[in-house]
Amino acid sequence: MAVGWLAVLQLVPWTDVIKNAPKVADGAKKLWQTVGNKTPPSAETTGTGVPPSPEGQAIAALQARVLTLENATQDLHEQMLASSELIKSLAEQNTQLIRRAEVNRLRLLALASVTAVVAVAAVIGLTLSLAGP
Protein backbone atom coordinates (compact mmCIF):
# COMPACT_ATOMS: atom_id res chain seq x y z
CA MET A 1 0.00 0.00 0.00
CA ALA A 2 2.83 2.42 0.84
CA VAL A 3 4.50 1.69 -2.49
CA GLY A 4 1.38 2.93 -4.31
CA TRP A 5 1.43 6.20 -2.37
CA LEU A 6 5.13 6.63 -3.07
CA ALA A 7 4.51 6.16 -6.77
CA VAL A 8 1.73 8.74 -6.70
CA LEU A 9 3.85 11.21 -4.74
CA GLN A 10 6.74 10.78 -7.17
CA LEU A 11 4.47 11.73 -10.07
CA VAL A 12 3.57 15.08 -8.47
CA PRO A 13 5.60 17.95 -9.96
CA TRP A 14 6.62 19.31 -6.56
CA THR A 15 8.69 22.16 -7.95
CA ASP A 16 5.64 23.47 -9.82
CA VAL A 17 3.44 22.99 -6.76
CA ILE A 18 5.88 24.87 -4.53
CA LYS A 19 6.38 27.59 -7.13
CA ASN A 20 2.62 28.16 -7.61
CA ALA A 21 1.53 27.93 -3.96
CA PRO A 22 1.79 31.69 -3.32
CA LYS A 23 -0.22 32.39 -6.49
CA VAL A 24 -2.99 30.06 -5.29
CA ALA A 25 -3.06 31.70 -1.87
CA ASP A 26 -3.13 35.20 -3.41
CA GLY A 27 -5.94 34.17 -5.75
CA ALA A 28 -7.98 32.82 -2.85
CA LYS A 29 -7.41 36.04 -0.87
CA LYS A 30 -8.51 38.14 -3.85
CA LEU A 31 -11.62 35.97 -4.25
CA TRP A 32 -12.44 36.36 -0.57
CA GLN A 33 -11.95 40.14 -0.74
CA THR A 34 -14.11 40.42 -3.86
CA VAL A 35 -16.93 38.27 -2.51
CA GLY A 36 -16.68 39.58 1.04
CA ASN A 37 -17.02 43.21 -0.08
CA LYS A 38 -20.19 42.61 -2.07
CA THR A 39 -23.38 43.50 -0.28
CA PRO A 40 -26.10 40.87 -0.34
CA PRO A 41 -29.23 41.75 -2.26
CA SER A 42 -31.91 43.22 -0.05
CA ALA A 43 -35.31 41.60 0.22
CA GLU A 44 -37.86 44.40 0.13
CA THR A 45 -41.45 43.51 0.85
CA THR A 46 -44.47 45.49 -0.12
CA GLY A 47 -47.42 45.44 2.23
CA THR A 48 -50.14 46.33 -0.29
CA GLY A 49 -52.41 43.34 0.35
CA VAL A 50 -54.24 41.35 -2.34
CA PRO A 51 -55.82 43.57 -4.98
CA PRO A 52 -59.27 42.50 -6.14
CA SER A 53 -58.77 42.93 -9.92
CA PRO A 54 -57.25 40.16 -12.08
CA GLU A 55 -54.40 42.48 -13.09
CA GLY A 56 -53.74 43.23 -9.43
CA GLN A 57 -53.74 39.52 -8.62
CA ALA A 58 -51.23 38.90 -11.41
CA ILE A 59 -49.04 41.69 -10.07
CA ALA A 60 -49.29 40.24 -6.55
CA ALA A 61 -48.34 36.80 -7.88
CA LEU A 62 -45.34 38.32 -9.66
CA GLN A 63 -44.33 40.20 -6.52
CA ALA A 64 -44.53 36.97 -4.54
CA ARG A 65 -42.37 35.26 -7.14
CA VAL A 66 -39.84 38.11 -7.06
CA LEU A 67 -39.72 37.88 -3.26
CA THR A 68 -39.11 34.12 -3.48
CA LEU A 69 -36.32 34.69 -6.01
CA GLU A 70 -34.77 37.39 -3.82
CA ASN A 71 -34.76 34.99 -0.88
CA ALA A 72 -33.14 32.31 -3.03
CA THR A 73 -30.56 34.83 -4.21
CA GLN A 74 -29.84 35.78 -0.60
CA ASP A 75 -29.29 32.10 0.28
CA LEU A 76 -26.98 31.66 -2.70
CA HIS A 77 -25.02 34.76 -1.71
CA GLU A 78 -24.53 33.38 1.81
CA GLN A 79 -23.40 30.05 0.37
CA MET A 80 -20.97 31.87 -1.94
CA LEU A 81 -19.50 33.75 1.04
CA ALA A 82 -19.08 30.51 2.98
CA SER A 83 -17.51 28.78 -0.03
CA SER A 84 -15.06 31.57 -0.71
CA GLU A 85 -14.06 31.64 2.96
CA LEU A 86 -13.45 27.89 2.79
CA ILE A 87 -11.37 28.29 -0.38
CA LYS A 88 -9.28 30.99 1.31
CA SER A 89 -8.73 28.77 4.33
CA LEU A 90 -7.77 25.78 2.19
CA ALA A 91 -5.35 27.87 0.14
CA GLU A 92 -3.63 29.09 3.30
CA GLN A 93 -3.42 25.54 4.64
CA ASN A 94 -2.05 24.38 1.28
CA THR A 95 0.67 27.04 1.44
CA GLN A 96 1.64 25.98 4.96
CA LEU A 97 1.67 22.32 3.95
CA ILE A 98 3.92 23.01 0.98
CA ARG A 99 6.32 25.03 3.13
CA ARG A 100 6.51 22.19 5.62
CA ALA A 101 7.02 19.64 2.84
CA GLU A 102 9.87 21.73 1.43
CA VAL A 103 11.51 22.00 4.87
CA ASN A 104 11.16 18.24 5.34
CA ARG A 105 12.65 17.63 1.89
CA LEU A 106 15.67 19.76 2.75
CA ARG A 107 16.07 18.01 6.11
CA LEU A 108 15.89 14.63 4.40
CA LEU A 109 18.59 15.66 1.93
CA ALA A 110 20.80 16.84 4.79
CA LEU A 111 20.20 13.60 6.69
CA ALA A 112 20.98 11.53 3.59
CA SER A 113 24.20 13.48 3.08
CA VAL A 114 25.29 12.96 6.69
CA THR A 115 24.41 9.27 6.45
CA ALA A 116 26.46 8.92 3.26
CA VAL A 117 29.45 10.63 4.89
CA VAL A 118 29.19 8.37 7.96
CA ALA A 119 28.87 5.28 5.73
CA VAL A 120 31.97 6.28 3.73
CA ALA A 121 33.87 6.93 6.97
CA ALA A 122 32.78 3.54 8.33
CA VAL A 123 33.90 1.75 5.16
CA ILE A 124 37.26 3.55 5.23
CA GLY A 125 37.69 2.74 8.95
CA LEU A 126 36.78 -0.91 8.37
CA THR A 127 39.16 -1.12 5.41
CA LEU A 128 42.00 0.39 7.41
CA SER A 129 41.34 -1.89 10.39
CA LEU A 130 41.34 -4.98 8.16
CA ALA A 131 44.50 -3.91 6.37
CA GLY A 132 46.26 -3.96 9.68
CA PRO A 133 49.14 -1.93 11.05
Could you list the pLDDT tens digit for every one of the 133 residues in the chain?
Answer: 566 766 766 777 777 777 777 777 777 777 777 766 666 555 454 455 545 688 888 999 999 999 999 999 998 998 888 888 888 888 888 888 888 899 999 999 999 999 999 999 999 999 988 887 6
Q: Which amino acid is at 124?
A: I
In angstroms, rounded to a whole number, what is the distance separating the alpha carbons of residues 98 and 124?
39
What is the rounded end-to-end Cα distance, in angstroms, of the chain?
Answer: 50
pTM, rounded to two decimals: 0.48
Residues sharing a CB contact under 8 Å with residue 70, sequence separation 6 or more, in sequence order: 41, 42, 43, 44
